[in-house]
Amino acid sequence: MTESTALETIAQAGGEVTAPFSPDQVRALRHEIQRFLLQYEFGLREIETKLSILRDEFLELQDYNPIEHISSRVKSPESLLDKVARKGIGRDLDTIRTHITDIAGIRVTCSFVSDVYRLFDLLTRQDDVTVRTVKDYIADPKPNGYQSLHAVVDIPVFLSSGAVTVPVEVQFRTVAMDFWASLEHKIHYKYRAAVPAGLTDELREAAATAAELDARMARLHRELHGTSG
């Protein structure tokens, strides 16, 4: 049995795999997949720690919290397989490791757009963080209106067997962008590929309204604090 069949079978069976594999085979492969995903979990923890240190330092020194909230997840085997199928890549763990860079994902929701870029800078300029890719959907929103700043960063994780480098996708966005994205995700999930045109137009307008709100709140914030940040 290969890693790919194990990942697939375990995902399809919701983790309850028995026949046609022997219990030992299933145990060994489950262990291998858990080890694979655990590295991503550790990568998440490294980045989460960095972000919480930045937040605590901001609070201490400036009495200001640039982060509204942080959420993170390691992709489930089911969702990983969906992405493998969408990308049309091989299902072995080495291929998945090479081609799927959002197995570990963190979402950082900030108060203002300026905080989004400030946190991105502060995180990515750290010596042990290497930027792989950046997609700035704030400067260049997706056609549907989606806005966020995405960065895939490599972070070393130190295991008993040595260091491994793990990619983590960090999505930075404002509260308004997050509100929009979570509603859009629900609508997309409900209608799958067939979102009614009227709804698509409304979502695009709502994204523009969210961007206006961000700009307005930033203006008010500047007036309140008398800064340009």
> Out of 10, 26, 119, 181, which residue is the one contacting ligand 0O2 (CB under 6 A)?
181
Residue 8 annotated in active site: no
Task: Report the candidate in 147, 137, 152, 164 with the shortest Cα–Cα distance to residue 211.
Answer: 147
**Nearest to ligand 0O2 of 184, 214 (CB atom):** 184
Note whether 135 binds ligand 0O2 by CB under 6 A. yes
Binding-residue pattern over the window 74 to 113 for ligand 0O2, x denoting contact by CB under 6 A = ---------x------------------x--x--------
> Out of 185, 190, 216, 219, which residue is the one contacting ligand 0O2 (CB under 6 A)?
185
Min dist CB 178 to ligand 0O2, Å, is 9
Q: How far is residue 184's CA from residue 198's CA, in Å, rounded to a whole number?
A: 13
**Nearest to ligand 0O2 of 17, 44 (CB atom):** 44
Torsion of CA 85, 82, 42, 3, to 10 degrees: -50
8-state DSSP, 17: -
Strands 162-174 and 130-136: unpaired
Among 57, 169, 184, 205, the active-site one is: 169
Stretch that binds ligand 0O2, among 21-29, 60-68, 117-125, 178-186 (CB under 6 A): 178-186
Note whether 150 binds ligand 0O2 by CB under 6 A. yes
SS3 for 15? coil
Q: How far is residue 125's CA from residue 123's CA, in Å, rounded to a whole number?
A: 6
Strand partners, 70: 108
Task: Report the candidate in 149, 125, 128 with the shortest Cα–Cα distance to residue 137.
Answer: 149
Q: How far is residue 151's CA from residue 132's CA, in Å, rounded to a whole number?
A: 7
Task: Give the binding site for ligand 0O2 (CB under 6 A).
Answer: 83, 102, 105, 135, 142, 144, 146, 150, 181, 184-185
